[in-house]
């Protein structure tokens, strides 16, 4: 098939691809509207050595994993739940939270993901949880500092207030994915229809392609 024949197929059946793209995009939009939004609150706790000593800084880097592991505890989660009077089980709170050590800037990122109906309620619910995780880490580090010499202490400090963001559903992304999937599904359907009708002679081009001979004349069918 040449380009003109492909263009002819698009003219005849292109509406199928467009229709399926619109339908799947609409379905993705509707499904996204039915999903309960999930929000993430993120904040960063900096681990700051008391002096600019290479050895102390290397030791501070090594303790990042230890502090992150300390937070991944049902015991600490229970303390967060008790302080904030949350209606959650410790295991569920640990599962909804992640603690990511970053050796490059000597910090621990705290992320908490929970469902909420809108931005305002998400901020009211999740931001305090992220903040309390950070507070638990700061308290723990302060306790350890009491047993260390002043010049060997490492301070845990909050970098900024928690930042809230919508994680899912991503409405625009879902609609675009649905549209592209529908378009390609329509392309497959058009290919199948053309394949099934390839043995049917409708135009003189079909005769020339099948028989390998040019058509000299055509007799119109009687009405």
Mean pLDDT is lowest, of 22-26, 42-46, 112-116, 215-219, for: 215-219
Nearest to 129 by CA among 116, 143, 145: 116
Q: Does residue 64 fall inside a structural domain?
A: yes
pLDDT tens, residue by residue, 1-22: 556 666 666 767 788 888 899 9
**Do 22 and 115 sit in the same domain of this protein?**
no
User: Could you tell me if 191 and 17 are in contact, meaning their C-beta atoms sit under 8 angstroms apart?
Assistant: no
Q: Is the pLDDT of residue 86 over 60?
A: yes
| Distance in angstroms (rounded) separating the CA atoms of residues 215 and 4 | 19
**Do 52 and 65 sit in the same domain of this protein?**
yes
**Do 79 and 105 sit in the same domain of this protein?**
yes
**Do 49 and 118 sit in the same domain of this protein?**
yes
Q: What is the pLDDT of residue 96?
A: 94
Q: Does residue 176 fall inside a structural domain?
A: yes
**Do 43 and 29 sit in the same domain of this protein?**
no
Q: What is the dihedral of CA 126, 96, 44, 124, to 10 degrees?
A: 0
Number of domains in the chain: 2
**Do 26 and 108 sit in the same domain of this protein?**
no
**Do 52 and 142 sit in the same domain of this protein?**
yes
Q: If you average pLDDT over residues 74-92, what whole number do you get?
A: 94
**Do 141 and 185 sit in the same domain of this protein?**
no
Q: What is the pLDDT of residue 133?
A: 96
Q: Does residue 207 fall inside a structural domain?
A: no
Q: Does residue 204 fall inside a structural domain?
A: no
**Do 73 and 122 sit in the same domain of this protein?**
yes
**Do 24 and 75 sit in the same domain of this protein?**
no
pLDDT tens, residue by residue, 163-211: 899 988 888 888 999 999 988 998 888 888 877 766 555 555 655 555 5
Q: Domain span at residue 26?
A: 14-33+171-192
CATH number, domain at 79?
3.30.70
Q: What is the pLDDT of residue 167?
A: 87
**Do 124 and 51 sit in the same domain of this protein?**
yes
**Do 100 and 154 sit in the same domain of this protein?**
yes
| Distance in angstroms (rounded) separating the CA atoms of residues 106 and 108 | 7
Q: What is the pLDDT of residue 204?
A: 55
């Amino acid at each position: 098939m040449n380009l003109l024949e492909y263009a002819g197929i698009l003219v005849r059946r292109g509406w199928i691809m467009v229709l399926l793209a619109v339908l799947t995009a609409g379905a993705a939009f509707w499904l996204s509207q039915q999903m309960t939004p999930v929000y993430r609150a993120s904040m960063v706790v900096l681990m700051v050595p008391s002096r600019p000593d290479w050895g102390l800084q290397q030791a501070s880097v090594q303790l990042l994993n230890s502090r992150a592991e300390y937070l991944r505890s049902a015991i600490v989660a229970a303390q967060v739940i008790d302080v904030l009077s949350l209606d959650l089980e410790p295991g569920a709170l640990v599962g909804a939270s992640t603690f990511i050590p970053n050796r490059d800037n000597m910090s621990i990122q705290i992320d908490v993901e929970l469902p909420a109906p809108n931005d305002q309620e998400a901020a009211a619910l999740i931001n305090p949880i992220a903040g309390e995780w950070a507070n638990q880490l700061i308290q723990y580090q302060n306790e350890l500092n009491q047993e260390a010499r002043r010049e060997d202490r490492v301070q845990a400090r909050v970098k900024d207030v928690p930042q809230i963001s919508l994680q899912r559903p991503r409405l625009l992304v879902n609609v675009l994915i649905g549209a592209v999937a529908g378009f390609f599904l329509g392309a497959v359907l058009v290919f199948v229809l053309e394949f099934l009708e390839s043995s049917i002679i409708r135009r003189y081009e079909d005769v020339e392609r099948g028989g390998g001979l040019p058509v000299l004349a055509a007799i119109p069918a009687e009405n």
